[in-house]
Structure 1
Amino acid sequence: MAQRSPPLLLTLLLCTLSVNSSFQPALVLEMAQILLENYCFPENLVGMQEAIQQAINSGEILQISDKKTLAAVLTVGVQGALNDPRLTVSYEPNFTPVVPQMLPSLPIEQLIWLVRNSVKLDILNNNVGYLRIDRIIGEETAAKLGSLLRDNIWDKVAQTSSLILDLRYSTAGELSGVPFIISYFSDSESLIHIDTVYDRPSNTTRELWTMPSITGEKYGKKKDLIILTSKRTVGAAEAVAYTLKNLKRAIIVGERSAGGSVKVQKIRIAQSEFYITVPVARSVSPITGQSWEVNGVSPMVNVIAKEAVAKAKSLLVVRSTIPKVIQSISDIIKRYYAFTDRIPALLQLLQSTDLFSVVSEEDLAVRLNHDLQTVSEDPRLIVKYMQDDAATGEEDLYNIQDDMKLLRELVDTTFKVEILPHNTGYLRFDKFVKLSAEAKLEELMANMVWEPLKDTNNLIIDLRYNTGGSSTSLALILSYLQDPSQKHHFFTIYDSPSYGSKRGVYVLTSYYTASVGEEFAYLVQSLHCGTVIGEITSGTLMHSKTFQIEGTDIAIIVPFINFLDNNGEFWLGGGVVPDAIVLAEDARHILNGYGTMYISSQKETNLLLIGSNLKSTYLLSYQNQ
């Protein structure tokens, strides 16, 4: 609660006040004295009485004859001075104090009736417990009804798989009952300091701790607990919700609670018919250093009160999938992730990550993605919420049978071949095709694509619109750019022409170039077998598989191949920076205009492809002549 300077504000207030003959200035001083002796924030009152006396003695007070108006003006003043909306002054000539009923003194039959009318227990589908408590009974009453509460409520609740604790209608209760409820939803490993209550009239402080043992079986802290609140939830129920929320034991669903007080008293000002309502005790949580008073408990999931039960049920469904999601992601990483040395740390993270406040599948995906990328330092390892996206475990590639007619149509529609001025070959393909089981597709590519280009002086490979495809054809196309004397190839070329490295090879890129397309550009640079011209590529990740977690809209994308370049560094799939950066639309025009370009740096390079889930490891060596 923000603090203001009471002397100045009360001085300004009282300078606007005056009283008729029936209301003496001494009454204002009496009000100040009540605050000094009873207000639960006495540190905010320093200098107030002196300021009031000074204002009265100044003679600047105006006449206010109507007593209710005076009470309203005093209320505005004292609330503004102390920034506390609970402080009110009222004029009540017929006020009759209400003495609160002491529950422990009631006959046992009345206590049983009260509990049965303020507590409701149901067991919902999937063994979800629903417990509605409209009044939190105090420690003495709970002790008196111990066996009844244990047998009819708490032991039945303990057998449920998860629990919805409904406090939306809890408008009464005693703070001394809070430790029992907190203890029921915690373990007995160590006691927890849950609240500190300061009482101003007695100037005493009382600490509330969890109990070392309770009658009956504890619910513990492992099963899901959702607490429902509304704007009517007040007092001890707020203390329960606030504490369990900040202990990370319960998810709060519903509306912000009322923001009540530990204890408020209406005190008569001297012998007049004016009363001042004062909060005489305050709560301070040792967990947060703050309180649920005045501001209330804010929910973690905001819904109107009448929709809270339905929201809680759907949330429990999400929560129930978390262990399965964690296990599935762990298994996928263990089986497929290419950085095998990082797997133990990732598995440990998944088992220890704090998912207490996860309230949706999207929320779960965001948190897991952040944690996994932080530990792995690999932007390709992605957990994402798919919902409307179709996630599959295989790449969306061309995959046709070995039908020669269909294969010929595939090559014809995929590859565009031209001979440009200055005997410059031009090859554009927007997708890397998936190789068939046999060699028919490679033979067709050799005859239909590479044979027309083999005698050109230079070759332009246009990848400006290439968005990826299958990496199986990548090595094949690279092989055509090598010398026939090359010792190591990914594939055997069946009587195919070889373009070699003595002529200029220029690869055009744009920010559309993605996945296997940018991998090709990267290899051309790394192997020094061509010049990359155009825009920085998209940085789309490649050599990854997408796995959707069964029964959810969560998927994990796992890289199963890593690249180690000739400098011994891993390439994690970031955008490829061209050797010559120009706008993509100008790249081909520049080449046509200037004719021959050549690579000035030629040296032996090696590229090692490491795949943790591959049957073979290949070493591709390229020797420039």
Structure 2
Amino acid sequence: MAQHTSILILMLLLYSLSANSSFQPALVLEMAKILLENYCFPENLVGMQEAIQQAINSGEILQISDKKTLATVLTVGVQGALNDPRLTVSYEPNFVPVMTPVLPSLPKEQLTRLVRNSVKVDILENNTGYLRIDRIIGEETAAKLGSLLKDNIWDRVAHTSSLIFDLRYSTAGDLSGVPFIISFFSEPEPLIHIDTVYDRPSNTTRELWTMPTMMGERYGKKKDLIILTSKRTQGAAEAVAYTLKHLQRAIIVGERTSGGSIKVKKIRIARSDFYITVPVARSVSPITGQSWEVSGVVPDAIVLAEEALDHVHEIAAFHRELTPLIEGTGELLEKYYAIPEIALKVSNILLRKYAEGLYRSVVDFESLASHLTADLQETSGDHRLHVFYCDVEPESPHEVPKIPTAEEVGYIIDALFKTELLPGNVGYLRFDMMADIEVVKATGPQLVKFVWSKIVNTDALIIDMRYNTGGYSTAIPLLCSYFFDVEPLVHLYTVFDRTTTTMTEVMTVPQVRGQRYGSSKDVYILTSHITGSAAEVFTRTLKDLNRATIIGEPTIGGSLSSATYQIRDSVLYASIPNQVVLSAITGKVWSVSGVEPHVIARAMFQRLCSESSNCNFECA
């Protein structure tokens, strides 16, 4: 039904035409017939002919006197109906078809001149090859020229250390030549399915695969390959660039390609002077399930075509520095990451991916940082691992906290804390940052007087951590102690520090300022997806020891402690969690997925639920 409706868009355009013309319904019917027999997406034409015939029979298709206007309107209609800008209708009374010579039928001498005029080979400094091909020849032509291509083109670049493949001026070519080029830049085994081409007029499908054997030596898949493109790059050259990019075999530098077609025909509509240009074949990449047709190939590094060659030298120099950066990232993980066995695994995976050429698409420090971050997080399952680019050394986030003055204490309390007494003698305490233990001690009298004393004698307590993204973990033992009795001391959790390889059991403290809340009254903690770091440790500890009911959203899964390390002497830095928290109950490491609430609820609209008779209220 949707396809039928889209075809009617064309009909509606025809309904709106001027009444003073000699429009011929047969012209439109013939155009529909051509599309049905030749258009490479026949599934999009369902109901088209019937819709056109219905519109003609209704008598509502009016006449157009100007034939060029008719051609323009038909073009707009068919493009809009089928969402394909390649479909065009033209009025050309003096059109003379241009017969493109079939290359394999040309004499060998003429073919040789053509190839030599469309190919340029050079060896640049650092043993970098340069290969420019302006026309990709088909398999028949290649077979006819044989050793000429091998000796003068492929063998000349086969022993270079890296290759610049210039397709900026490649506007024509034969798709049958694509497998040879892809094979030159891959290994004999395994064979790679590189394209599937459907031809509508013959209703046939052809698969393109790499070749198990070929004349001459292959370039292989390990050495760097950089392809230059422009907005003029079209057809078979686009197929080459698209395939090598998505096989992660090449870096594409330049402009987005033109977005051409595998095969387009200009077909005369009946015996008129109207012609319709139709894409009669389509390409679908088995690698992506999509195509370069219409949309083109998007480069990894987008620069003006005329500047692409200069940019290549920057990328090549950058790639020569990749090895120490990849190795350095793995070394930092192995030395500092909180879970050693995962660090070793991830480090090895990074090296393997690099050896397999999976870092070829990076073109600068920013793209390398993004690529490394994605790989670190995917292979470790830890979203806290992060690599970033910074051209100045970042400041350490773990500076010694400043002890506030007496005047500043009041502002801090007003900014970070909120208390309220709810119906049923239920206390509400919201605080939005975990302060350092020295700050807590220094501000203790004021905190007890202006915050804690207002809620300590309630029958139940709501602790709102929805806006608390973390802070310092040093005060967690003291804060937790308020919710347990003096004796016995309670094992809260254990911290493993990778930098010192020490295990530290964290216990409640025997003395606190002011009155304890105790171990018997109900405590509810509200969480959100931004609750993080030390706030999570506090929440998870009370949950793990069955001291609180957690209500809200799963927390962010932040780090108790992370540090920033420079990767070798570069402008890249890695943020690496270097501590893990082990449960006092199970002895297992807490997951980086965050704290899972007992009751899942949207953070901004949480209803507290409990069997306790004291819990019959609602929290905004």
Same fold by TM (over 0.5)? yes
Letter in 2 for 1:42: P
More displaced stretch, 235-244 vs 546-555: 546-555
The alignment status of 1:123 with 2:127, answered yes or no, reads: no
Letter in 2 for 1:225: L
Deviation, 1:260, is 1.0
Q: Which residue of 2 aligns with 1:147?
A: 147
Task: Name the CA distance, whole Å, in 2 between partners of 1:105 and 1:286.
Answer: 32
Deviation, 1:3, is 5.7
The alignment status of 1:359 with 2:363, answered yes or no, reads: yes
Pick closer, same or farther for the CA change 1:314–1:364 going to 2, 3 Å. same
Deviation, 1:48, is 2.3
Q: Which residue of 2 aligns with 1:193?
A: 193
Three-state SS of the structure 2 residue aligned to 1:288 is coil
Letter in 1 for 2:271: Q
Pick closer, same or farther for the CA change 1:517–1:159 going to 2, 3 Å. farther
Which structure has the greater CA radius of gyration? 1
Structure 2 unaligned segments of length 5 or more: list them.
407-435, 443-467, 480-494, 496-503, 515-531, 536-557, 595-620
Pick closer, same or farther for the CA change 1:529–1:126 going to 2, 3 Å. farther
Pick closer, same or farther for the CA change 1:61–1:22 going to 2, 3 Å. closer
Task: Name the CA distance, whole Å, in 2 between partners of 1:68 and 1:21.
Answer: 12
Report the count of equivalent residues.
Answer: 473
Deviation, 1:178, is 0.7
The alignment status of 1:178 with 2:159, answered yes or no, reads: no
Three-state SS of the structure 2 residue aligned to 1:141 is helix
Structure 1 unaligned segments of length 5 or more: list them.
399-413, 421-459, 467-509, 576-625
Letter in 1 for 2:390: M
Task: Name the CA distance, whole Å, in 2 between partners of 1:224 and 1:193.
Answer: 22
Task: Name the CA distance, whole Å, in 2 between partners of 1:302 and 1:268.
Answer: 39
The alignment status of 1:368 with 2:372, answered yes or no, reads: yes
Q: Which residue of 2 aligns with 1:554?
A: 572
Task: Name the CA distance, whole Å, in 2 between partners of 1:381 and 1:520.
Answer: 29
Pick closer, same or farther for the CA change 1:464–1:251 going to 2, 3 Å. farther
Q: 1:387 aligns with which of 387, 391, 398?
A: 391
Deviation, 1:234, is 1.0
Letter in 1 for 2:509: H
Deviation, 1:279, is 1.5
Q: Which residue of 2 aligns with 1:490?
A: none
Are the aligned partners of 1:3 and 1:83 in contact in 2 as well (CA < 8 Å)? no
Q: In the TM superposition, what are the counterparts of 1:439-478 in structure 2 within 5 Å?
A: 462-463=438-439
Deviation, 1:266, is 1.4
Pick closer, same or farther for the CA change 1:371–1:531 going to 2, 3 Å. farther
Letter in 1 for 2:359: L
More displaced stretch, 328-337 vs 316-325: 328-337
The alignment status of 1:528 with 2:509, answered yes or no, reads: yes
Q: In the TM superposition, what are the counterparts of 1:418-437 in structure 2 within 5 Å?
A: none
Pick closer, same or farther for the CA change 1:108–1:541 going to 2, 3 Å. same
Task: Name the CA distance, whole Å, in 2 between partners of 1:153 and 1:92.
Answer: 42
Deviation, 1:550, is 3.6
Are the aligned partners of 2:230 and 2:305 in contact in 1 as well (CA < 8 Å)? yes
Deviation, 1:137, is 1.0
Task: Name the CA distance, whole Å, in 2 between partners of 1:285 and 1:384.
Answer: 33
More displaced stretch, 313-322 vs 209-218: 313-322
Pick closer, same or farther for the CA change 1:108–1:531 going to 2, 3 Å. farther
Task: Name the CA distance, whole Å, in 2 between partners of 1:287 and 1:340.
Answer: 35
Task: Name the CA distance, whole Å, in 1 between partners of 2:210 and 2:45.
Answer: 34
Q: Which residue of 1 aligns with 2:136?
A: 136
The alignment status of 1:266 with 2:270, answered yes or no, reads: no
Letter in 2 for 1:201: P
Q: Which residue of 1 aligns with 2:203?
A: 203
Task: Name the CA distance, whole Å, in 2 between partners of 1:43 and 1:375.
Answer: 41
Pick closer, same or farther for the CA change 1:317–1:391 going to 2, 3 Å. farther
Three-state SS of the structure 1 residue aligned to 2:320 is helix
The one-character-per-residue Cα deviations of 1:158-183 (angstroms, maximum 9, x if unpaired) are 22222222212111111111111111
Q: In the TM superposition, what are the counterparts of 1:45-84 in structure 2 within 5 Å?
A: 45-84=45-84
Are the aligned partners of 1:391 and 1:555 in contact in 2 as well (CA < 8 Å)? no
Deviation, 1:303, is 2.2
Are the aligned partners of 1:6 and 1:44 in contact in 2 as well (CA < 8 Å)? no
The alignment status of 1:294 with 2:294, answered yes or no, reads: yes
Letter in 1 for 2:102: M
Letter in 1 for 2:247: L
Letter in 2 for 1:324: P
Q: Which residue of 2 aligns with 1:25?
A: 25
Three-state SS of the structure 1 residue aligned to 2:122 is strand
The alignment status of 1:285 with 2:285, answered yes or no, reads: yes
Pick closer, same or farther for the CA change 1:72–1:375 going to 2, 3 Å. closer
Task: Name the CA distance, whole Å, in 2 between partners of 1:41 and 1:330.
Answer: 49
Pick closer, same or farther for the CA change 1:553–1:17 going to 2, 3 Å. same
Are the aligned partners of 1:90 and 1:276 in contact in 2 as well (CA < 8 Å)? yes
Pick closer, same or farther for the CA change 1:312–1:203 going to 2, 3 Å. same
Task: Name the CA distance, whole Å, in 2 between partners of 1:328 and 1:519.
Answer: 36
Pick closer, same or farther for the CA change 1:106–1:383 going to 2, 3 Å. same
Deviation, 1:77, is 1.7
Pick closer, same or farther for the CA change 1:159–1:519 going to 2, 3 Å. farther
Q: Which residue of 2 aligns with 1:34?
A: 34
Q: Which residue of 2 aligns with 1:307?
A: 307
Three-state SS of the structure 2 residue aligned to 1:528 is coil
Task: Name the CA distance, whole Å, in 1 between partners of 2:533 and 2:263.
Answer: 66
Task: Name the CA distance, whole Å, in 2 between partners of 1:532 and 1:87.
Answer: 80
Three-state SS of the structure 2 residue aligned to 1:120 is strand
Are the aligned partners of 1:253 and 1:308 in contact in 2 as well (CA < 8 Å)? yes
Pick closer, same or farther for the CA change 1:569–1:81 going to 2, 3 Å. closer
Are the aligned partners of 1:17 and 1:62 in contact in 2 as well (CA < 8 Å)? yes
Are the aligned partners of 2:14 and 2:62 in contact in 1 as well (CA < 8 Å)? no
Pick closer, same or farther for the CA change 1:330–1:21 going to 2, 3 Å. closer
Q: TM-score normalized by structure 2? A: 0.65
The one-character-per-residue Cα deviations of 1:396-442 (angstroms, maximum 9, x if unpaired) are 999xxxxxxxxxxxxxxx999x9x9xxxxxxxxxxxxxxxxxxxxxx
Task: Name the CA distance, whole Å, in 2 between partners of 1:461 and 1:97.
Answer: 86
Are the aligned partners of 1:15 and 1:60 in contact in 2 as well (CA < 8 Å)? yes
Task: Name the CA distance, whole Å, in 1 between partners of 2:87 and 2:576.
Answer: 60
Task: Name the CA distance, whole Å, in 2 between partners of 1:27 and 1:12.
Answer: 17
Task: Name the CA distance, whole Å, in 2 between partners of 1:291 and 1:279.
Answer: 14
Q: Which residue of 1 aligns with 2:454?
A: none
Deviation, 1:518, is 9.1
Are the aligned partners of 1:14 and 1:56 in contact in 2 as well (CA < 8 Å)? no
Q: Which residue of 1 aligns with 2:244?
A: 244
Letter in 1 for 2:81: A
Three-state SS of the structure 2 residue aligned to 1:295 is coil
The one-character-per-residue Cα deviations of 1:28-70 (angstroms, maximum 9, x if unpaired) are 3222222222222222223322332332233333332111112
Three-state SS of the structure 2 residue aligned to 1:115 is helix
Q: Which residue of 2 aligns with 1:230?
A: 230
Deviation, 1:22, is 6.4
Deviation, 1:100, is 0.4
Q: Pairwise CA RMSD of aligned residues?
A: 4.2
Task: Name the CA distance, whole Å, in 2 between partners of 1:68 and 1:334.
Answer: 71
Pick closer, same or farther for the CA change 1:47–1:531 going to 2, 3 Å. same
Deviation, 1:513, is 7.1
Task: Name the CA distance, whole Å, in 2 between partners of 1:300 and 1:144.
Answer: 36
Task: Name the CA distance, whole Å, in 2 between partners of 1:573 and 1:196.
Answer: 43
Question: Structure 1 vs Structure 2: percent identity of aligned residues?
Answer: 61
